[in-house]
Amino acid sequence: MAAKILSESKEKLSKLVNKTKVNPMEKMYIEVGSEDEKTRIMSEVIKRFPKALNIMDGIKISLNETEWVLIRASQTTPKINICIEAKTEENLENIRREYVGMIKSL
């Protein structure tokens, strides 16, 4: 697909890249204390979001067409990984506050 776009465009790759909008994204880790606690928290998260896309070790919650939250258990440490993509930095901060707060409250 990228090759087709390049071949049909009269612009240089660098100009096309500069036109591409990249949404703010953040990945963070929340320490949960133990492997048992990590398992318990992930179980609760999955129950709270039954319509979320279930991935092998977590879930992806689509908030709208461009924003989403991925919550998964770390495979190597007693941590929950959260990855967020938002339309704006302000939305990213609001989503982070909501989902990190939820994880910590469990």
Both tokens assigned to 47: 């129950």
pLDDT reported for residue 1: 63
Q: Are strands 53-55 and 79-85 parallel, antiparallel or unpaired?
A: unpaired
pLDDT at 15 over 90: no
Taking the CA atoms of residue 37, residue 43, residue 45 and residue 48 in that order, the dihedral angle to the nearest 10 degrees is -140
Domain boundaries, the chain: 23-105
Fold classification of 23-105 (topology level): TATA-Binding Protein (3.30.310)
pLDDT at 28 over 80: yes
Tell me: the pLDDT tens digits for 61-84? Answer: 999 999 999 999 999 999 999 999
Residue range 43-71: mean pLDDT, rounded: 95
Question: Residues near 1 by Cβ (< 8 Å), separated by ≥ 6?
Answer: none
* Residue 33: strand, helix, or coil: coil
Render 46-71 in DSSP notation, one character per residue: HHH-TTSEEETTEEEEE-SSS-EEEE
pLDDT reported for residue 20: 73
pLDDT at 47 over 90: yes
